[in-house]
Amino acid sequence: MELQAANPKTLRSSLVWRLTVFILLLVICFIFPWIVSPLWLRIGTEVVMWAGLAQSFNIICGYTGRLDFGHGAFFGIGAYVTGMTMTLLGWPFGLGLLVSGIVSALLALAIGYPTLRLRGAYFAIATWSMGELIRQIATILDITGGAFGLQLPAVLNLPYFYYIMLLVTGLTYLTTYLLVEKARFGYKLLAIREDEDAAEMVGVNTASTKNWAFALSAFFPGVLGGIYAYWVTYIHPDSVLGGQITDVMCVMAFLGGIGSLWGPFLGAIVVQLIQRVLWVVWGEGTFYLVIIGVTICAVILFIPNGLVGLLEGTGLFSPRESVNELRKKIKW
């Protein structure tokens, strides 16, 4: 495997280059609403939201090694909590968001405690059935509006929503970077992912670590869900608690690069843009599913490290561990 950064001089100049691009991107993100049309602002807001969602999925799946097929439920719960606190209790938006995040995280802790004992396919199926159960509950209860859904007051200030989404997604990435990539917490997660029993034996409290990771991964979708509810103004069980939310999160994270910091972001951009562009150009919505399905199969087969792996030049079939070590050295 080639190490591009063998020479300290090239390491420094590539660092400068990367920093410049990063800052440029940051600037674009900030001035985005003022330079594009409202349509693209909406699309941009969607992309930002999905980037956050995909990253939250990445925390529990990519870093902790647990496939959570019901992760979308936290998004839906957040949407409903904000919806209900705003319409039934009359609370302000910001408070509703905070409550959404906390409720999601608490629910994750409650679910996680018994469920995280399971592994692999069992965990996937268990979380999937829990997610579906939550959707059924939302449909049955009248307080959530049941099948009629929930309507929120309409506030149409697109840049406002964009910035809030950006803020929360940014926090998601920052938290992931600080807690998972840099701190010891992250190493513990990786240890659990690679060999849980060994981790337990060297003293990692796997149960509590997994639980905290799960709660963390649920907090952000909860808040994003709350923003979504207020942004779209109408939610119902199928639109925010349906399986398709998890499906899309999953595809984005895997396509971009599971287990990497920027993978979900890349995945979100690519998938959402493919979908929107196909929609605008072709007026078509179902062939996109075929494309996504084939893409995900191709990614699993040929580039399991996702687009990030491809772009980093680590090529095909490279072991994940070495990539981690490499990245720690280059500090991306």
Partner 1 sequence: MELLLQTFIDGLLMGGLIIIIGVGFSLCFGVMHIVDFAVGEWVMLGAYTGWLMVRYFGHDAMFYLPVIFIIFSALGWVIYPVILQVVSGKRFNPAIMGLIFTFGLSITMKGGALTVWGYHIQSVPTWLTGKTLYLGPLTIPGLRVSGFFFGILVTLLLLAFLYKSRYGNVIRATAMDRDTANLLGADVRKVGAVVYSLYAGITAMSGALIGALFSVHSVMGAKYTMLAFFVVVLAGMGYVPGVIPAAIILGLLQSFVSVYIGGRFNLAALFLVMYGVLLITPKGIFRRGW
Partner 2 sequence: MKRLSIFALITLAIFMVGYAQAQEKRDFFKIGVVTSLSGELAFGGSVTKRGYDMWEDAVNAAGGIDIAGKKYKVKLVYADDQSTPATAAVAGERLITEEKVDFILGPYASGTTLALAPICEKYKVPHITGSAESPLVWLKKFKYTFGTIPPVNLGPRSAIQTLTQDVTPKPQTIAILGIDDAFSKFSAEAMKAAAEKAGIKVLKYEIVPEGSDYTPSVTAIKSLKPDIFAMGNHEKAAIEMIKIAKELKFNPKAYVQHYGMSTPDFRKGLGKDIEYVFGISYWTENMKIQSTGLFKNPKEFADTIRKKFNVDPDYTEAGCAAAGIAFQEALRAIKAAPPLTEAQKDALIGALEKLDIGTFYGRVKFATEGDAYHANAGLESVTLQYQGGKLTEVGPPKTRVALPKYPAPPWDKR
Q: What is the footprint of partner 2 within residues 5-34 (CB under 8 A)?
A: 14, 17-18, 21, 24-25, 28, 32
98, 171, 232, 296: residue in contact with partner 1 (rule CB under 8 A): 296
Task: Decide if residue 148 touches partner 2 (CB under 8 A).
Answer: yes
Helix (H, G, I), strand (E, B) or coil at 29: helix
Beta bridge mates, 234: 151
Task: Decide if residue 283 touches partner 1 (CB under 8 A).
Answer: no
Beta bridge mates, 235: 150
State the binding partner of 36 from partner 1, partner 2, none, CB within 5 to 8 A by kind: partner 2
Q: Where are the beta strands (DSSP E) in the chain?
A: 150-151, 234-235
Query: Which amino acid does the sequence have at 177?
Result: Y
232, 274, 296, 326: residue in contact with partner 2 (rule CB under 8 A): 232
Count CB atoms within 10 A of the CB of residue 311: 13
- The C-alpha torsion from 259 through 260 and 262 to 265, rounded to 10°, is -10
Closest among 174, 191, 175 to 324, alpha carbons compared: 191
CA–CA separation, 242 and 147 (whole Å):
13
Residue closer to partner 1 (CB basis): 45 or 55: 55
Task: Decide if residue 311 touches partner 2 (CB under 8 A).
Answer: yes
**Which tokens in the block code for residue 207?**
């149960």
Helix (H, G, I), strand (E, B) or coil at 116: coil
Task: Decide if residue 304 touches partner 1 (CB under 8 A).
Answer: yes
Task: Decide if residue 293 touches partner 1 (CB under 8 A).
Answer: yes
**Which tokens in the block code for residue 10?**
């090239």
**Residue range at the interface with partner 2 (CB under 8 A); choices 60-68, 104-112, 210-218, 232-240:** 232-240
| Closest separation in Å from C-beta 47 to partner 1 | 20
* Residue 300 and residue 254 in contact, taking contact as beta carbons nearer than 8 Å: yes
State the binding partner of 128 from partner 1, partner 2, none, CB within 5 to 8 A by kind: partner 1
Closest among 278, 308, 203 to 43, alpha carbons compared: 278
3, 143, 147, 298: residue in contact with partner 2 (rule CB under 8 A): 147
* Residue 226 and residue 149 in contact, taking contact as beta carbons nearer than 8 Å: no
If binding means CB under 8 A, how many residues of this protein chain bind partner 1? 49
State the binding partner of 95 from partner 2, partner 1, none, CB within 5 to 8 A by kind: none
91, 102, 106, 146: residue in contact with partner 2 (rule CB under 8 A): 146
| Closest separation in Å from C-beta 286 to partner 2 | 5
Q: Where are the beta strands (DSSP E) in 1-146?
A: none
Q: What is the footprint of partner 1 within residues 149-208 (CB under 8 A)?
A: 193
Task: Decide if residue 332 touches partner 2 (CB under 8 A).
Answer: yes
| Closest separation in Å from C-beta 114 to partner 1 | 5
Residue 150 φ then ψ, to 5°: -125, 140
**Residue range at the interface with partner 1 (CB under 8 A); choices 29-37, 52-60, 157-165, 300-308:** 300-308
Task: Decide if residue 129 touches partner 1 (CB under 8 A).
Answer: yes
Helix (H, G, I), strand (E, B) or coil at 7: coil
CB-based burial, 48-78: b 16+ in 10 Å, e otherwise: bbbbbbbbbbbbbbbbbbbbbbbbbbbbbbb
Q: What is the footprint of partner 2 within residues 274-303 (CB under 8 A)?
A: 276, 279-280, 283-286
List interacting residues with partner 1 (CB under 8 A): 61, 65, 67, 114-115, 117-118, 120-122, 124-126, 128-130, 132-133, 136-137, 139-140, 193, 243, 247, 250-251, 254, 258-259, 286-297, 300-301, 304-305, 317, 319-320
